[in-house]
Chains A and B, each alone.
Chain A
Amino acid sequence: MSADHEPAGGERERPIRCLVAKVGLDGHDRGAHVISRAFRDAGFEVIYSGLHRAPEDIVQAAVQEDVDVVGLSILSGAHNTLIPKVIEGLAEYDALSDTLVVVGGIVPDDDAKQLKEAGVAEVFGPGTPMEETIQFIRENVADRK
Chain B
Amino acid sequence: MTEGATPDLVVDLLGGDMRALARTITRIENRSGDYRDLVSALYPHTGSASVVGITGSPGAGKSTLVDELVAHYRENDETVGVIAVDPSSPYTGGAVLGDRIRMGSAVGDHGVFVRSMSARGHLGGLSTATVDAVKAFDAFGMDRVVIETVGAGQNEVDVVRTADTVVVLVQPGSGDDVQMLKAGILEIGDVFVVNKADLDGAERTAADLEEMLELRGSEERTRVGHHGAVEVGSVADDGETEDESDAWSPPVLQTVATTGDGIAGLATTLDGHRAHLERTGERESRARTRAAAEVRTLLRQDTADLVETELRRRGGIDEVAARVAERETDPYTVADELLGPLRDYLAEVND
Contact = CB atoms under 8 A, between A and B. Distances in A.
A64 B94 contact: no
Contacts of B27: 145
B94 A45 contact: yes
Contacts of A44: 94
A64 B33 contact: no
Contacts of B290: none
B31 A2 contact: yes
Contact of B305 (A1, A15, A45): A1
Interface string B52-95: 00000000000000000000000000000000000011001111
A131 interface: no
Interface residues of B, number: 38
Nearest to A14: B30
Contacts of B324: none
Interface in B22-49: 22-23, 25-27, 29-33, 35-36
A82 interface: no
Q: Interface centre among A37, A43, A64, A93, by most B CB within 10 Å? A: A64
A131 B114 CA distance: 30
Given A48-B97, A64-B22, A57 B92 contact: no
A64 B18 contact: yes
Interface string A23-51: 00000000000001101111111111110
A65 interface: yes
Contacts of A61: 100, 114
Q: Interface centre among A1, A4, A15, A145, by most B CB within 10 Å? A: A145
Given A46-B94, A63-B19, A66-B23, A13 B30 contact: yes
Q: How large is the interface on A (under 10, 10 to 19, 20 to 34, 35 or more residues)?
A: 35 or more
A29 to B, nearest CB: 10
B97 to A, nearest CB: 5
A44 B120 CA distance: 11
A30 to B, nearest CB: 15
A61 B113 CA distance: 9
B114 A8 contact: no
Nearest to A57: B107
Contacts of B284: none
A144 B27 CA distance: 10
B100 A63 contact: no
B33 A45 contact: no
B94 to A, nearest CB: 4
A121 interface: no
Q: Interface centre among A15, A41, A44, by most B CB within 10 Å? A: A15
Given A1-B305, A64-B18, 16 more contacts: A2-B31, A3-B32, A14-B30, A42-B94, A46-B96, A50-B101, A53-B107, A54-B107, A54-B108, A57-B108, A61-B100, A61-B114, A63-B18, A65-B100, A65-B116, A93-B19
Interface of B: 1, 18-19, 22-23, 25-27, 29-33, 35-36, 88-89, 92-98, 100-102, 107-108, 113-116, 118, 120, 302, 305, 309
